[in-house]
Amino acid sequence: MPIQPIIPPGSPPPLAPYSPGTKAGGFIYVSGTLAIGPQGETLHPGDAAAQTRDVLEAIRSVLAAGGGSLKSVVFNQIFLKDMADYAAMNAVYKEYFPEAPPARYCIQSPLVRPDFLVEIATTAYVGD
């Protein structure tokens, strides 16, 4: 089974040694995605809704580069720095997955930098 890294044009620099996505066996696995700007800066500190939007747009970009879309998503893993941001994240999330949303879980966890509020990792099925 071939394994193909996915690095969309214009992706921000990764914070560690990883690819934004990997395509393998009909699936796209999107790394934990944060609201990171082009120079590695945190976007929208203090605004969970805006960070969620940036994260989902970055995920959309990785999926598109691998031949998928948000409609291909089968599972999301959501990490919130603070569960107080759950409603703000969900309001934006629902805009991106309005019907037949994928399976998911959401937990509270410290994130890699204190100004990150939302991280999402995604699995999508795009066929063989």
CB 71: neighbour CB atoms within 10 A? 11
**Tell me: the pLDDT tens digits for 12-51?**
877 788 899 999 999 999 999 999 998 889 999 999 999 9
Give the phi and the psi of residue 86 in degrees, each rounded to 5.
-60, -50
Q: DSSP E strands: which ranges in the chain?
A: 3-6, 21-24, 27-33, 73-80, 103-108, 118-125
Q: List, in sequence order, every residue forming a beta bridge with 121; answer none if it has no partner.
A: 77
Q: What is the C-alpha separation between 79 and 64, in angstroms, rounded?
A: 23
- Rounded CA-CA distance 127/23 in Å is 10
pLDDT at 54: 97
Instruction: Report how far apart, in Å, the C-alpha atoms of 102 and of each of 10, 13, 94 are.
Output: 27, 28, 11
Q: What percent of the chain has pLDDT over 70?
A: 99
Torsion angle defined by CA atoms of residues 6, 70, 91 and 49, in that order, rounded to the nearest 10 degrees: 20
pLDDT > 80? residue 1: no
Helix, strand, or coil (residue 77)? strand
Q: Are 43 and 36 in contact (CB under 8 A)?
A: yes
Domains of the chain (ranges, CATH numbers) = 3-125 (3.30.1330.40)
Q: What is the pLDDT of residues 66-121, one digit of tens each?
A: 999 999 999 999 999 999 999 999 999 999 999 999 999 999 999 999 999 999 99
Instruction: Tell me how far apart the alpha carbons of residues 103 and 114 are, in angstroms, rounded to a whole number.
Output: 27
- Please tell me the predicted confidence (pLDDT) of residue 15: 78
Look at residue 16 in the predicted model and tell me its pLDDT.
85
Per-residue DSSP letter, 36: B
Say what the pTM is: 0.95
